[in-house]
Structure 1
Amino acid sequence: MEPTRKPERGPTAGGWPTYAATAAAVTVTATIGSKAVKANSVWYQSLSKPPWQPPPWTFGLVWTPLYASIAWAGGRALLRARGRRRRALATSLGVNLMLNAAWNQLFFALRSTKAGLVGTALLDISNADLIRRTTAIDTASASALVPYAAWCTFATALNADIAYRNS
């Protein structure tokens, strides 16, 4: 009879607290950001928008899986990182989530297409940094962040067009 072996503890074994923390951080980001969105406001409705802007319902449809991928990728990468790399990655993720929520405040709450453009450009830079740091730790996690970065790049182009049309 073979002796019972303990299961190996890989980087994700017992990692639910890390995944819970990244999911909570992403949920807070989404909540703060969504509270500022006033797509039905007179101000927003009066803005000239490009014909290629997606219909309003697509934003929720797109952001839900993107937020899930950020939570998963962040948790997975943090579980694999150690020491300074882990702290730097956690900081990069935290800054990224703050910039993510800030865009809605800059654009909708301040009613400023130009402030929104600055915010989304900073988010694009932050996405590049987050993906760079994540790639050095875990390529699967980094790959999961690419659609998020691509959508944010699209959002930057949309914001730039709206700012241009309304300046």
Structure 2
Amino acid sequence: MESATNQQQATPFWQSALGLLGWIILCFTAAGVGSSFTVPQIETWYAELNKPSFNPPNWIFGPVWSTLYLMMAFAVWLVWKKAGWTNAPHSLGMWCFQLLLNTTWSVIFFGLENPVMAAFEIVVLWISILITIVAFWRHDRFAASLMVPYLLWVSFATVLNISIAALN
């Protein structure tokens, strides 16, 4: 733990700021890839699906996801800044894995037009987010807490996904 503290104190501001920018770029690159599969389907295939009464309006997803991606980027940056890849390879690796699963869900649900397979995948995503939160807790409790709204939103999305799969 002492080496992580020394690493944090020795990191220049510009390097820390570039690190944060890198994590933000990674998050929003993943978001962009997911959106490239999602957006073209909103007015066509997705519009034709039967949806439950609690399905939010389409406009809500953009602001919610943008906020969540910023929180995710800040959370991973805190762990990276505090512990680095050397002291937190599992935590940072889990975060990267859940981000990959996040993007993959859009490919499956919207790109492949497969709500059933997406329902299975989103459960794996939910588990990986929970594991990431637990792993982050060991390094930075605030970082872990920043991931909780994401877990809650994916919990809602899981119920929504399963409902859409059942209705179609």
Looking at structure 2, the residues matched to 62 and 11 of structure 1 have their Cα atoms a distance apart, in angstroms, of: 35
Residues 57 and 24 of structure 1, relative CA distance in 2, 3 Å threshold: same
The answer to whether 1:68 aligns with 2:70 is: yes
Q: Equivalent residue for 2:111?
A: 109
Cα offsets for 1:32-81 (capped at 9, x unmatched): 0000001111x222211001100000001211111100010110111111
Gaps of 5+ in 2: 1-7
After superposing the two structures, state which structure 1 stretch, 84-93 or 55-64, moved more: 84-93
RMSD of aligned residue pairs (Cα, Å): 1.6
Looking at structure 2, the residues matched to 76 and 56 of structure 1 have their Cα atoms a distance apart, in angstroms, of: 32
Looking at structure 2, the residues matched to 72 and 11 of structure 1 have their Cα atoms a distance apart, in angstroms, of: 20
Q: Equivalent residue for 2:3?
A: none
Looking at structure 2, the residues matched to 160 and 12 of structure 1 have their Cα atoms a distance apart, in angstroms, of: 45
**Which one-letter code corresponds to 2:9 in the other structure?**
G
Alignment size in residue pairs: 157
**Which one-letter code corresponds to 2:112 in the other structure?**
L
Q: Give the TM-score of the pair, scaled to structure 1.
A: 0.88
2:158 to 156, 159, 165: 156
Cα offsets for 1:10-50 (capped at 9, x unmatched): 38753123212211110111000000001111x22221100
Q: Equivalent residue for 2:143?
A: 141
Q: Equivalent residue for 1:95?
A: 97
Aligned 8 A contact 2:85 2:92 in 1: no
Looking at structure 1, the residues matched to 11 and 49 of structure 2 have their Cα atoms a distance apart, in angstroms, of: 47
Moved over 6 A (4+): none
SS for the counterpart of 1:10 is: helix
Per the TM alignment, residue 83 of structure 1 is displaced from its structure 2 partner at its CA by 5.7
Q: Give the TM-score of the pair, scaled to structure 2.
A: 0.88
Gaps of 5+ in 1: 1-8
Aligned 8 A contact 1:33 1:105 in 2: yes
Q: Equivalent residue for 1:5?
A: none
Q: Bigger radius of gyration, 1 or 2?
A: 1
Cα offsets for 1:80-100 (capped at 9, x unmatched): 115654211221111111001
Looking at structure 2, the residues matched to 161 and 113 of structure 1 have their Cα atoms a distance apart, in angstroms, of: 9
Residues 98 and 134 of structure 1, relative CA distance in 2, 3 Å threshold: same
Q: Percent identity?
A: 30
The answer to whether 1:40 aligns with 2:39 is: no
Task: Indicate the structure with greater helix content.
Answer: 2
